[in-house]
Structure 1
């Protein structure tokens, strides 16, 4: 066991006006199983890169340990998996590799297959197994769940629960709850560490937010009272000052020294009240510094002439000669929130693309209501670039509504002016979701919409779907989201 000390850490990118971290102080025990939470773009991956020494910063990070980052870069995916492992960790022992793969429920035969032939889930598990071969390292695990199906997430969560000495970035609530004992959260103005899992941290945060909101309400009333008092005193001071010169008709010569002294005294009192007011406002801004806003979202789904949107009967799909799935049949009707379940490679994305009209070879029958408008969100958002104004124009959506949704999803005003290629993965995914929410569609089809999306935004999207009850077909591996949202489950 050793400690990682972070002292007065300050860092900002060269092209940014604001620092991501400003004089941050905390310490981490290298024996912890540490979850890492925070909204998209707050600097989670940046902090991991600072630990790895990739950027210059002010302040200090002192640690008597080496850091190891996941995921590893695989430069030669055509090589056999065992060769990939050797490139990452030349000192591996085969029995240790086989032990870790067994714990992750991966067959040994993957070691002698080209790495690129493994499923996304198998690749993730192999790289995690390799990561935990390395001893005397503090492990930085960055979003391992994005390519894992629900069953694989459960296996990896059980695996991590037996380990310790890591920081885990994940937005899957159930996943975090099962395998961490501390949580590190990036708030608006600070980094906070608490003992416990995600659920205990979230309950504590809600209680703290409610306390601060109650205190703020009392403070707001006090500010109104101070403002009124300051205005009255200022008005009195002005009235007294005017009497120094008397009036034309009175013929009296006022004592200007006395009146000036009285006016100055009242002005001083006015300034004192104004100072108290400014102090109270500053106190208010400090009090509410870490409350996360999560305004309600809206969706533009339009009415349709029929209740039945899509019907599939005995669908089988093929990649070349390989049958991906068979015997699939279900209907999508008005108000259905249909979750597609299945292991990676079971055909979920292919089925979604088929419904959206892509050219995929299949047998069976698919019926779609004529003039059905579908809004589709793809898994991958990495290709996005350009500015948001052009993006909204190209997709024929209202720019002001589009940007308002992004603001509700925690985009700053400055962020709205940046090129989309500079966004984090989570922010790019939010662009796809915001565009979909703006489109006047009958059916929304979302393929893993929550990949890289922070927890608070996930909760916003849940509230949206429960409030507006749109017709939606989705693939998602976040078990908590599916449990809360799905009205119909189709398992492939």
Structure 2
């Protein structure tokens, strides 16, 4: 057994006044299968880069192992896949590579094809196989699921379950539950490690949050009582102090020394109560430290004048020389439809057809006239500039837009940054927040949860279950799809 010891770790990016980590201490066993979770922008990838020695920091990280990071930086993707693996790990043993590929159900022929000709899922599996050829290394696996369909995610999760000695960054709850035995979580004010899978950690967190909310309620009442008492006492002492220059009700002169002493005594008591009040406030500030801002979201859906919004009947789509044959389903008000199928099966093509893009097809496709659609694309590469201009260009309410982003975990400092500097999860949140600001009859979301943290996923789930908008979506997060969908359409 080897340990990774993190002691008094403090780090901030150059030019930033805010520390990403401050005096962080914890210990990792290198045999663990460690799931790594936390809100977008909290520093998960940053911490992995600190382990890799990419940034200077204060404190200490000590380890008797080397670190390997996934995904590898692949250059010259037009080269054969086997040559790229040789670059990554020159001393690999071929039979071991074939063993790993077999476990991942990847055929040998992909090794002799250009890497850029492989599907995203095949590329992910090949690079994971190469990663696990690195013996005596602690593996840093950063969001491997983003290009995997639901079937491939289950396969890769089963594969990782047979391994040990890694940190896995993922926001897919079912994926984590199947292949980790500890959770490392970056909270609002600290980092903690718990034994168990994600569901165990989540249940513990909900219990802790409930406890802190209850304690906070007690403190709030106590603070109000102390505040009222301090105010009354302060008013009393002030009134007593005023009588120094006055007279008694009978008209006789007051003993100013006695009155002054009494006033001083009351002022001292008032000050004591104020100190008690401040202590209670300080105690309150220590509570709720890790309760996330996960206020409920809202949606305002338009009602269409007909129950049926769209229909596809024996539709075949011609796209990139592929044919998607005989797809048929209807979209009615209140439906929450999950399009399910392997990568490349044509799910995005169907979405584009419904959204009005010029897609070649045969069969019958009907869509309601004046149907308003709110669309969230997979692609976030176009996002740049500031949020104010984005809201204006998309004709959405800026205050509502930013309020939703705040609820999804954005700090106010993010509002001042260029969107091109956002993390992948933050960019997806911009698109989702924009969609939620739009009044529409039908919401179409194409893989909306890529890179988005677990807490935000749960918020979005709760939103869709509460307001029940009509939505057609593609999402490979099994838990999300099973919780949300009223219908599944298999492509």
Which band: TM-score by shorter chain? over 0.9
Cα distance in 2 for residues equivalent to 1:450 and 1:490:
19
Find the counterpart in structure 2 of residue 221 from structure 1: 221
8 Å contact kept, 1:448–1:475: yes
8 Å contact kept, 1:7–1:61: yes
8 Å contact kept, 2:295–2:407: yes
8 Å contact kept, 2:385–2:418: yes
| Structure 1 residues 376-405: Cα deviation after superposition (integer angstroms, max 9, x where no partner) | 101121331111111011001111111111
Cα distance in 2 for residues equivalent to 1:382 and 1:268:
63
**DSSP 3-state at the match of 1:365:** strand
TM-score, structure 2 as length reference: 0.97
Q: Which range moves more in the overlay, 420-429 or 197-206?
A: 420-429
Query: Any gaps of 5 or more consecutive residues in structure 2?
Result: none
1:362-441 → structure 2 map (5 Å cutoff): 362-441=361-440
Find the counterpart in structure 1 of residue 186 from structure 2: 186
Find the counterpart in structure 2 of residue 311 from structure 1: 311
Find the counterpart in structure 1 of residue 273 from structure 2: 273
Find the counterpart in structure 2 of residue 47 from structure 1: 47
Q: Which range moves more in the overlay, 414-423 or 67-76?
A: 414-423
8 Å contact kept, 1:3–1:27: yes
Q: Which range moves more in the overlay, 241-250 or 411-420?
A: 241-250
Following superposition, the deviation at residue 248 of structure 1 comes to 12
Aligned residues: 491
Following superposition, the deviation at residue 249 of structure 1 comes to 11
Find the counterpart in structure 1 of residue 76 from structure 2: 76
Cα distance in 1 for residues equivalent to 2:207 and 2:32:
25
Find the counterpart in structure 2 of residue 356 from structure 1: 355
Alignment RMSD, CA only?
A: 1.5
| Structure 1 residues 346-369: Cα deviation after superposition (integer angstroms, max 9, x where no partner) | 111111111111222222221111
| Structure 1 residues 202-245: Cα deviation after superposition (integer angstroms, max 9, x where no partner) | 11111111111111111111111111121122112111211222
Cα distance in 2 for residues equivalent to 1:398 and 1:324:
41
Following superposition, the deviation at residue 266 of structure 1 comes to 1.7
Cα distance in 2 for residues equivalent to 1:229 and 1:442:
55
Following superposition, the deviation at residue 131 of structure 1 comes to 0.6
**DSSP 3-state at the match of 1:14:** coil
Find the counterpart in structure 1 of residue 335 from structure 2: 336
8 Å contact kept, 2:70–2:131: yes
8 Å contact kept, 2:80–2:113: yes
Find the counterpart in structure 2 of residue 33 from structure 1: 33
| Structure 1 residues 388-437: Cα deviation after superposition (integer angstroms, max 9, x where no partner) | 11101100111111111111111122222222122211111000001001
8 Å contact kept, 2:319–2:349: no
| Structure 1 residues 246-284: Cα deviation after superposition (integer angstroms, max 9, x where no partner) | 259988654433333322222122111111111111111
TM-score, structure 1 as length reference: 0.97
Cα distance in 2 for residues equivalent to 1:351 and 1:209:
42
**DSSP 3-state at the match of 1:95:** helix
**DSSP 3-state at the match of 1:414:** helix
- Relative to 1, partners in 2 of residues 1:159 and 1:456: Cα closer, same or farther, differing over 3 Å? same
8 Å contact kept, 1:6–1:61: yes
1:119-138 → structure 2 map (5 Å cutoff): 119-138=119-138
Cα distance in 2 for residues equivalent to 1:464 and 1:184:
27
8 Å contact kept, 2:8–2:58: yes
Cα distance in 1 for residues equivalent to 2:358 and 2:375:
15
Cα distance in 1 for residues equivalent to 2:376 and 2:65:
42
8 Å contact kept, 2:247–2:254: no
**DSSP 3-state at the match of 2:317:** strand
Cα distance in 2 for residues equivalent to 1:272 and 1:415:
41
8 Å contact kept, 1:246–1:252: no
8 Å contact kept, 1:324–1:345: no
8 Å contact kept, 2:247–2:253: no
**DSSP 3-state at the match of 1:285:** helix
Find the counterpart in structure 1 of residue 208 from structure 2: 208
Find the counterpart in structure 2 of residue 9 from structure 1: 9
Cα distance in 2 for residues equivalent to 1:382 and 1:155:
29
Following superposition, the deviation at residue 177 of structure 1 comes to 0.3
8 Å contact kept, 1:40–1:426: yes
Cα distance in 1 for residues equivalent to 2:462 and 2:474:
18
Cα distance in 1 for residues equivalent to 2:274 and 2:420:
46
